[in-house]
């Protein structure tokens, strides 16, 4: 992107006088006054100015992945994105991921491509939940525990308790929602005393609500298979008072 947003050209009048003109480097529109080109705001210039927003960053990265997977173009820039006919759709996706606080958006984008999900269906709770349920099974166990602990510490500050006591004293429905959102992983629920006690204390409706995210049958087999990691995580959580 050029550092200057103006291009200066000379147009000769019939009288022989020279008049300067100034061009927007985003949309190429020409203006007669320099101040006008600075205050002018076209769609491309606005999109460039919004490039630092979270939704735009997510949308741009998803768009880059789209082009890489499609082998359509190399060395694409943000300005290419701003002028793309897909700009609005990808930024909409960025807003969706930001609003729901999506976990690992790059992995979600890969999942959408791998499952041949059409672009207009990317902002779908149904698709995101399918991805999330699978992601919780496949993600790195220590990343899962770290995210869960961080979530519990943040929530504990809100309700003025210690993070290690969230399963014991926090509102159950709030914790249930964190599980469904993927913020609290089965890796911590099944590997600490307070997590197991929390699950046992839930009513039938709450248990049904989180079932797909903590699938007991699946996790029983998985934890046995990964017994070494499980024991390491159990010890870490035990020392932490969970």
Give pLDDT, residue 166: 96
DSSP string, 122-142: SS-HHHHHHHHHHHHHHS-HH
DSSP class of residue 171?
A: -
If we measure between CA atoms, which residue out of 101, 26, 90, 100 comes closest to residue 56?
Answer: 90
The torsion region of residue 28 among left (phi > 0), alpha (psi -120 to 50) and beta comes to: left
Confidence label for 74 from pLDDT (cuts 50, 70 and 90): low
d(CA 135, CA 127): 12
Give pLDDT, residue 71: 66
- Reported as a single tens digit per residue, the pLDDT across 21-52 is 788 777 777 877 777 777 777 778 887 888 88
The distance between the two most distant Cα atoms of the chain, rounded to a whole number of Å, is 91
If we measure between CA atoms, which residue out of 198, 180, 176, 202 comes closest to residue 189?
Answer: 198
Those residues with Cβ within 8 angstroms of residue 20's Cβ, 6 or more apart along the chain or in another chain: 8, 9, 10, 32, 34
Confidence label for 75 from pLDDT (cuts 50, 70 and 90): confident
Give pLDDT, residue 171: 96
Domain segments of the chain as ranges: 6-45, 51-124, 139-239
Give pLDDT, residue 16: 40
> What residue has token string 């602990």?
149
Average pLDDT in the 60-79 region?
A: 82
DSSP string, 31-58: ESSHHHHHH---HHHHHHHTTTSHHHHH
Q: Which residue has the higher pLDDT, 38 or 158?
A: 158
If we measure between CA atoms, which residue out of 75, 3, 74, 81 comes closest to residue 47?
Answer: 81
Residue 51 structure tokens? 């490039």
Q: Which residue has the higher pLDDT, 103 or 42?
A: 103
Q: Indicate the range of 24-38, 89-103, 221-235 predicted with least confidence.
A: 24-38
The mean pLDDT value of the chain amounts to: 88
Give pLDDT, residue 18: 39
Give pLDDT, residue 211: 97
Give pLDDT, residue 14: 41
Confidence label for 15 from pLDDT (cuts 50, 70 and 90): very low
Phi, psi of 75 (to 5 degrees): 55, 50
If we measure between CA atoms, which residue out of 173, 181, 166 comes closest to residue 212?
Answer: 181
Please count the CA atoms within 13 angstroms of the CA of 224 that sit on its side-chain side: 6
**Residues forming a β-bridge with 31:** 22
Whole-model pTM over 0.75: yes
- Reported as a single tens digit per residue, the pLDDT across 164-208 is 999 999 999 999 999 999 999 999 999 999 999 999 999 999 999
Give pLDDT, residue 133: 96
Would the pLDDT of 6 be above 90?
no
Average pLDDT in the 74-95 region?
A: 90
> What residue has token string 């204390």?
201
d(CA 186, CA 216): 9
Give pLDDT, residue 169: 96
Confidence label for 19 from pLDDT (cuts 50, 70 and 90): low
């Amino acid at each position: 992107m050029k550092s200057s947003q103006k291009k200066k050209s000379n147009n000769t009048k019939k009288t022989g006088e020279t008049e300067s003109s100034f061009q927007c480097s985003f949309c190429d529109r020409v203006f007669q006054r320099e101040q006008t080109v600075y205050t002018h705001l076209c769609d491309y210039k606005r999109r460039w100015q919004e490039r630092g927003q979270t939704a735009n960053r997510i949308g741009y990265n998803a768009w880059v992945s789209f082009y890489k997977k499609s082998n359509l173009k190399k060395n694409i820039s943000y300005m290419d994105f701003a002028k793309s006919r897909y700009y609005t759709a990808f930024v909409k996706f960025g807003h969706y991921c930001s609003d729901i606080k999506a976990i690992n958006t790059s992995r979600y984008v890969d999942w959408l491509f791998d499952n041949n999900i059409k672009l207009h269906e990317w902002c779908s709770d149904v698709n995101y939940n399918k991805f999330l349920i699978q992601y919780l099974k496949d993600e790195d166990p220590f990343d899962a525990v770290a995210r869960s602990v961080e979530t519990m510490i943040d929530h504990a500050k809100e309700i003025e308790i210690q993070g290690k006591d969230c399963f014991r004293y926090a509102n159950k429905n709030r914790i249930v929602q964190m599980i469904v959102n993927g913020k609290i992983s089965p890796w911590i629920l099944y590997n600490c005393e307070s997590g197991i006690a929390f699950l046992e204390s839930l009513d039938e409706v709450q248990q049904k609500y989180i079932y797909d995210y903590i699938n007991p049958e699946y996790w029983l087999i998985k934890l046995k298979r990964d017994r070494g990691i499980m024991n390491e995580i159990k010890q870490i959580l035990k020392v932490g008072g969970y």
